[in-house]
Amino acid sequence: MCCWPLLLLWGLLPGAAAGGLGRTYPHWTLLDSEGKYWLGWDQRGSQIAFRLQVRTAGYVGFGFSPTGAMASADIVVGGVAHGRPYLQDYFTNANRELKKDAQQDYHLEYAMENSTHTIIEFTRELHTCDINDKSITDSTVRVIWAYHREDAEAGPMYHDSNRGTKSLRLLNPEKTSVLSTALPYFDLVNQDVPIPNKDTTYWCQMFKIPVFQEKHHVIKVEPVIQKGHESLVHHILLYQCSSNFNDSVLASGHECYHPNMPDAFLTCETVIFAWAIGGEGFSYPPHVGLSLGTALDPHYVLLEVHYDNPTYKEGLIDNSGLRLFYTMDIRKYDAGVIEAGLWVSLFHTIPPGMPEFQSEGHCTLECLEEALETEKPSGIHVFAVLLHAHLAGRGIRLRHFRKGKEVKLLAYDDDFDFNFQEFQYLKEEQTILPGDNLITECRYSTKDRAEMTWGGLSTRNEMCLSYLLYYPRINLTRCASIPDIMEQLQFIGVKEIYRPVTTWPFIIKSPKQYKNLSFMDAMNKFKWTKKEGLSFNKLVLGLPVNVRCSKTDNAEWSIQGMTALPPDIERPYKAEPLVCGTSSSSSLHRDFSIKLLVCLLLLSCTLVTSQV
């Protein structure tokens, strides 16, 4: 261990900031609100490397947790004490008791400490196959962090308030394109919107796109969130509207989906961008941009902002929206967006008390066949996906089928976090061909709910959607489905409803126990058990679906409104088995090599000194 002091001195050299061993870390994020704890990381084959840069002279803690809390967490603690580095692999049980892991899977590569900061670099395998470690996949991970002013040679002391959690997607591909900081931009931002003291508000405001004399491409979109409103603004959708308006439609905004909202809002059906809470700015790939300035491009857009106010705060005024960066350097392809999944409807039903319940939204082969054969027989190329659900959501997968056989998942998040939703860049673009079909598969937990959960706009309601960014742009904006409601009601014993339907939700006529109840009240009156919920889930997944297949300007493909049967697929989805890494032996060899190199340097210095 005689060589570690030299390695520590090496870390104090000016060039060490990018990585103590000369390695670069393409991904960086600040974990705390005071600017004291920085995390850098980089995937290297089957391993992932981390760099922790923390303003403390004590220990630094870092780890992964299923909920963001200390229970059942995978933790590593490191630092430099008396000039000697240390790094220990720990875990906690369900009672949050900290224990040293018998299998040490985190391997120190570099450490330094000065009067203000501690920096440590280490690696681990993505999949260690240690029951006390968390595998790192494309899904969301809840990182936990802590630090202390004292070192942890005999085990970490309590970190007081110097701790926190943050959701990240560690394996999101590196963004290789570097954009000019001088790019022109324009903002689509709400002005002094009064937020009602109710849990959910959807606010809509129309904007006119700046007039361009020739074609431009938007190449980056950033959220503009009013300071202090980061938890209030849940998601933002940007829709293309009809071009057959004048600027009179740009009057003050209005609540969306309200009986008195302006008729012009009804023409805004085509989603051209989506942002959700926790997401950052999105840069389009170097060969793709969002087109502006041509006859086919939006002249008027609708900004829809979902405000989540569960504590019913009063007096809130918001000025949030989007910032769009653009260029005259036209790229090869125009980007499009397809909304796929379950049409947002009360016909999307989830029973109470269910630890796990699965819903599926179908982008049917009939819809993709008609739209792609007409618009682009050679197919479209998906480069990013945003998966979207609400509070009961636990996991989402976007499954892809061709000629009845499943191909690679387009996107997935098996540890969905309602407060962290952003576009996932695909590692490789995937092609969708005529006759393919997509299934947005959502997994929910309602074990703490006493009543039905319905599809709807509130965060206490549910959604099951995928937003696909793709090129080249075609005339398909929505590819979704609605499950049949009458067969769902037959499951709870409903025999007849009043016809014609004149009220919403519609009213049940028989049997007697449900007479004159709305179908929502009847579903809540039914005595749901876990066994009944599982039987109902199996029924719903096999029900015929009503196809939604929409074009721009409220137009529809001919398949719209038709009934289709869900494909016969394998359920549940079977992921490829994880391959355990062999970090222990390789890391030991690497550590030995590094230490040997440093010792040789030290020996060389000693020999030179002796010769002098």
If DSSP codes are grouped into helix, strand and coil, which group holds residue 493?
coil
Active-site residue identified among 234, 306, 388, 390: 388
What is the residue-wise DSSP string for 573-599?
A: --PPPPPPP-HHHHHHHHHHHHHHHHH
Q: CA 16 to CA 369: how far, in whole Å?
A: 55
If DSSP codes are grouped into helix, strand and coil, which group holds residue 250?
helix
Q: Largest Cα–Cα distance of the chain, in whole Å?
A: 105
Element (H, E) at 489: helix 485-491
Element (H, E) at 380: strand 380-388
Residue 202 bears catalytic tag: yes
Residue 164 and residue 31 in contact, taking contact as beta carbons nearer than 8 Å: yes
Q: CA 107 to CA 50: how far, in whole Å?
A: 10
If DSSP codes are grouped into helix, strand and coil, which group holds residue 534?
helix
Q: For residue 312, with 0-12 CB atoms within 10 Å meaning exposed, 13-18 middle and 19 or more buried, which class applies?
A: exposed
Q: CA 470 to CA 431: how far, in whole Å?
A: 9
Nearest to 584 by CA among 160, 106, 230: 106
Active-site residue identified among 110, 202, 239, 307: 202
Residue 388 bears catalytic tag: yes
Q: For residue 124, with 0-12 CB atoms within 10 Å meaning exposed, 13-18 middle and 19 or more buried, which class applies?
A: buried
If DSSP codes are grouped into helix, strand and coil, which group holds residue 371?
helix
Beta-ladder partners of 497: 508
Placement of tokens 């060969």 in the chain: 287
Q: For residue 392, with 0-12 CB atoms within 10 Å meaning exposed, 13-18 middle and 19 or more buried, which class applies?
A: buried
CA angle 130, 132, 136 (to 5 degrees): 70
Q: CA 176 to CA 26: how far, in whole Å?
A: 9
Structure tokens that stand for 547 in this block: 């196809």
CA angle 433, 438, 440 (to 5 degrees): 155
Q: Give the phi and the psi of residue 113 in degrees, each rounded to 5.
A: -145, 135
Q: Residue 30 contacts by C-beta under 8 Å, 6 or more apart in sequence?
A: 37, 38, 39
- Length of the chain (residues): 612
Q: CA 383 to CA 338: how far, in whole Å?
A: 12
Placement of tokens 């040490």 in the chain: 104
- 7, HSE (Cβ side, Cα atoms, 13 Å): 28
Structure tokens that stand for 306 in this block: 């979902």
**Cβ of 454: how many Cβ atoms within 10 Å?**
20
Nearest to 233 by CA among 263, 200, 265, 256: 200
Radius of gyration of the chain (CA): 27
Residue 20 and residue 109 in contact, taking contact as beta carbons nearer than 8 Å: yes
Residues with catalytic function: 202, 388
